[in-house]
């Protein structure tokens, strides 16, 4: 791969030219990495709801043309000046957030919210020079989340690239670079249920099921899945869920239903929907004295969280998390090891697979609400 070092690479990428319109496979030019950047050859990527959300551009600043994609696995093709901890041939996961290792957040054991590289959905260029590394016939194409993995080659800041076990299968562990780690870490790192405790999971999409998987790994005795879509319940049993609640089936608030099921409330809850009412229910359904609720879902910008302060005074705790509290470069390799050691099953999250030429099928599958993760094979 070193023969392409320092040169522009021409390759295929799926370009979004307009909001909500099918992606178009184009030949793009990918410039060499600049200072503190790496150029990656993407081998497998998957579709996350965040890609679809920004592609639809219904509630954000539209930014087109753009190359989406942020959940992926690949190999380092070349590195720019100043990069010392990655080398060509390294197996890596690009990540939508980052870890510069220099800022207050990176130096704190309590935070993973890097000042330099934390998620920025409105930035479509690289930090080094404020320019894009992608062009089509000389016209710049915007980056997405600093990753843009719907391209055979992409350029990322070194702080947003996690080096992983060289034996890890990228067609499986690529899904660990976003949603699965977010849900898993919300339970393992933030809710931290003790063995034998009860846990409620609000929202049984991929992130919620990963949170349930975390509760299973912790030895929770009762894992209650809460979702408005009852068709998700059977699948959720594979991720440790033991009981289910569909709020539509009850006349009383779901927090009361859960309290009645658990002698006063669950020990832990994890909210993975982004619906503010679900967030309130997730908090109010935990037991007084020791209950902990963790918010994962991203709310609408005008939402307000309303609960009576006495819920806090009665010793319930409300926490939030970002990317499961994992520091991308420091902690993600250990999540991959959980898979390699057969503690964590990743295969059950992967329900579909398509060749890169059929990437729009992956969007169709997600828009229909079918499946969990669709792997997009770049080399087919």
Supply the residues annotated as catalytic.
48-50, 70-71, 100, 103, 106, 114, 118, 178, 373
Q: Please state the length of the chain.
A: 380
Number of Cβ atoms within 10 Å of the Cβ of 260: 12
Q: What are phi and psi of 28, to 5 degrees?
A: -115, 160
Catalogue the E-assigned strands of 48-126. 71-79, 91-94
Parallel, antiparallel or unpaired: strands 243-245 and 222-226: parallel
Percent helix, strand and coil across the chain, each to the nearest 5 = 30, 25, 45
Distance CA 16, CA 99 (A): 28
Distance CA 124, CA 191 (A): 34
DSSP string, 182-223: HHHHIIIIII-PPTT-EEEEE--SHHHHHHHHHHHHHT-SEE
Decide: helix, strand or coil at residue 20: coil
Tell me the CA distances in angstroms from 169 to 5, 183, 260, 315, 377, one per residue in order: 25, 21, 44, 44, 13
Distance CA 157, CA 128 (A): 9
User: In terms of Cα–Cα distance, which of 266, 260, 269, 379 is closest to 320?
Assistant: 269
């Amino acid at each position: 791969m070193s023969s392409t070092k320092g040169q522009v690479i021409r390759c295929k990428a799926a370009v979004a030219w307009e909001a909500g319109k099918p992606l178009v496979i184009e030949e793009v030019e990918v410039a060499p990495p600049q200072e503190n950047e790496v150029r990656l050859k993407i081998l497998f990527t998957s579709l996350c709801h965040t890609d679809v959300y920004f592609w639809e551009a219904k509630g954000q600043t539209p930014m087109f043309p753009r190359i989406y994609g942020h959940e992926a696995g690949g190999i380092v093709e070349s590195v720019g000046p100043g990069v010392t901890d990655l080398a060509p041939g390294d197996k890596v996961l690009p990540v939508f957030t980052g870890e510069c290792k220099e800022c207050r957040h990176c130096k704190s054991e309590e935070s993973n919210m890097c000042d330099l590289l934390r998620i920025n959905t409105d930035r479509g260029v690289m930090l080094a020079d404020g320019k894009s590394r992608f062009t089509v016939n000389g016209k710049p194409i915007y980056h997405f989340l600093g990753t843009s993995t719907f391209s055979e080659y992409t350029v990322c800041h070194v702080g947003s690239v996690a080096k992983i076990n060289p034996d890890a299968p990228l067609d499986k562990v690529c899904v660990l670079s976003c949603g699965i780690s977010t849900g898993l870490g919300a339970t393992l790192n933030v809710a931290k249920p003790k063995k034998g405790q009860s846990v409620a999971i609000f929202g049984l999409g991929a992130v919620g099921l990963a949170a349930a998987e975390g509760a299973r790994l912790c030895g929770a005795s009762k894992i209650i899945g809460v979702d408005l879509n009852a068709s998700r319940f059977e699948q959720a049993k594979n991720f440790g869920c033991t009981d289910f609640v569909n709020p539509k089936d009850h006349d009383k608030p779901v927090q009361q239903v859960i309290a009645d099921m658990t002698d006063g409330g669950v020990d832990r809850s994890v909210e993975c929907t982004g619906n503010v009412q679900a967030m309130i229910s997730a908090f109010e359904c935990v037991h007084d004295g020791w209950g902990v609720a963790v918010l994962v879902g991203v709310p609408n910008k005008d939402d307000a969280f309303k609960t009576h302060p006495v819920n806090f005074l009665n010793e319930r705790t409300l926490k939030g998390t970002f990317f499961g509290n994992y520091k991308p470069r420091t902690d993600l390799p250990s999540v991959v090891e959980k898979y390699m050691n057969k503690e964590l099953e990743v295969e059950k999250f992967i329900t579909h697979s398509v060749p890169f030429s059929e990437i729009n099928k992956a969007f169709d599958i997600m828009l229909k609400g079918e499946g969990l993760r669709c792997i997009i094979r770049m080399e087919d």
